[in-house]
Amino acid sequence: MRVLITGGAGFIGSNLAKELQSAYPKAKIWVLDNFSSGHFKNLLGFKGEVITADLSEPTLWEWLKRNFHFDVVFHHGAITDTTVMDQFKMLRVNADSMRFILDAVLAWKAKLIYASSAGVYGNSPSPMKEGEGEFPENPYGFSKLMMDRIALNFMEENPHIKVVGLRYFNVYGPGESYKGKTASMVYQLYKQMKEGKRPRLFKWGEQRRDFVYIKDVIRANLLAMERDVSGIFNIATGVARSFNEIVSILNQLLGTNLEPDYFDCPYDFYQNYTQADITKAREFLGYEPQYSLEEGIKDYLKYL
C-alpha cells in the first residue's frame, strides 16, 4: 500500500503517519508539507519520505501524477488558524487545492480521506448534524464548507472513487504544541497552570465544546480507509464540555487549585457551543469514541 499524507508534519498528520507505520508495517508512506505550521520534530521516528511543497500549486499535483502512484491519500494540509481573515488566501489554500487533489486521486484511482471541520456549523444549534445548519462564522469555516461541496460534487460524478470527509470537532493531544496559539484549549490551559499561572478564559468559562482526543481521531481515519464508503462524517465524542470543566480536571490531575482569570472575548465570530451528532459515523464507519475528556486529558499528560 502506497500512502500520501498532506500536512503530514502537522498535529493530526504526524500522528496518523506514525500510526499507519505501526498498523501497516509494509506500507510505503510519503508526507507532504510546507512546514508553515508543521514541525520536523513531529516526524521523529517516521520512516517514510518527506516531500516539501505547497499543496495549493497545481504544478505540484501534475508532477506527483507523473512520478508517483498512491493507493490512499490522507489530506490534512490546510491553513488551520481560524483567526486568519485573508479570504483569498484561505480559500485558495483550503478549498481550491481540493480540486487538484481530487483530480490526482481520480488519475490514481486512489481513496481520499480528508480533514473537514466543525467550523462549517458556526453557531448553529447543537447537536450539529451533517447537511444541516452549515453557516460558518469565519473564512476558515467557509473554506472547509467549500471543500465539502467540491468533494460532494466529485462523489456524485465519480462514484467509483471513495472519498471520505471527516469533520473534526475540537481535537487535542500529543503533537499539537508546535501549532502555537492555535493549539487546543486543553494544551493552552495546561501550559499556563503547569507554570503556576491562573488559567485565562473568556467570560465566564461556560462556553462548551465537543473535545475529541487525537487517538479517537486517528482511529476514525483508519476506519475511513478500511470501510468501503464515501461521505462526510462528524468526528467527535457527541458530548459538549465547558472550559471551566477542563480547568477543574487539570487542577485535579496536576494537584493545583488555580482559579480562572476571566476576560472579555475579542472575537465576534466565536463559537459558543459545539456538540456533534455522531450517529452517521457510528453507522457507516463503525466509529465509537474511546476517550472521555477526563480519560483523554489523563492520557495526554503522560506525553506532556
pTM of the entire structure? 0.96
pLDDT for 269 equals 67
| Closest listed residue to residue 242, CA positions, set 213, 201, 196, 277 | 201
C-alpha cell at 6: 498532506
By CB atoms closer than 10 A (0-12, 13-18, 19+), residue 136 is buried
Secondary structure in 3-state letters for the chain:
CEEEEECCCCHHHHHHHHHHHHHCCCCEEEEEECCCCCCHHHHCCCCCEEEECCCCCHHHHHHHHHHCCCCEEEECCCCCCCCCCCHHHHHHHHHHHHHHHHHHHHHHCCEEEEEEEHHHHCCCCCCECCCCCCCCCCHHHHHHHHHHHHHHHHHHHCCCCCEEEEEECEEECCCCHHHHHHCCHHHHHHHHHHCCCCCEEECCCCCEECEEEHHHHHHHHHHHHHCCCCEEEEECCCCCEEHHHHHHHHHHHHCCCCCCEEECCCCCCCCCECCECCHHHHHHHCCCCCCCHHHHHHHHHHHC
pLDDT for 43 equals 97
**CA atoms of 237 and 221, how far apart (whole Å):** 15
**CA atoms of 152 and 157, how far apart (whole Å):** 9
| Closest listed residue to residue 140, CA positions, set 82, 95, 184 | 82
User: Positive or negative, the Cα torsion across 183, 163, 44, 51?
Assistant: negative
Known catalytic residue at 121 = no
Q: From the candidates 28, 89, 179, 191, which is the catalytic residue?
A: 179
**CA atoms of 264 and 270, how far apart (whole Å):** 12
Give pLDDT tens digits for 140-187: 999 999 999 999 999 999 999 999 999 999 999 999 998 888 899 999
Question: Is the separation of the CB atoms in 262 and 201 below 8 Å?
Answer: yes
The values of phi and psi at residue 243, to 5°, are -65, -35
**CA atoms of 154 and 164, how far apart (whole Å):** 11
Give pLDDT tens digits for 265-304: 887 767 789 999 999 999 999 999 999 999 999 999 999 9
Q: From the candidates 140, 178, 190, 291, which is the catalytic residue?
A: 140
Known catalytic residue at 300 = no
pLDDT for 260 equals 96
Mean pLDDT by runs of 10 across the 304 residues of the chain is: 97 98 97 95 97 96 97 96 92 96 98 97 95 96 98 98 98 93 93 96 94 98 98 98 98 97 85 93 98 98 95
Secondary structure in 3-state letters for 216-262:
HHHHHHHHHHHCCCCEEEEECCCCCEEHHHHHHHHHHHHCCCCCCEE
pLDDT for 148 equals 98
| Closest listed residue to residue 73, CA positions, set 42, 33, 30, 122 | 30
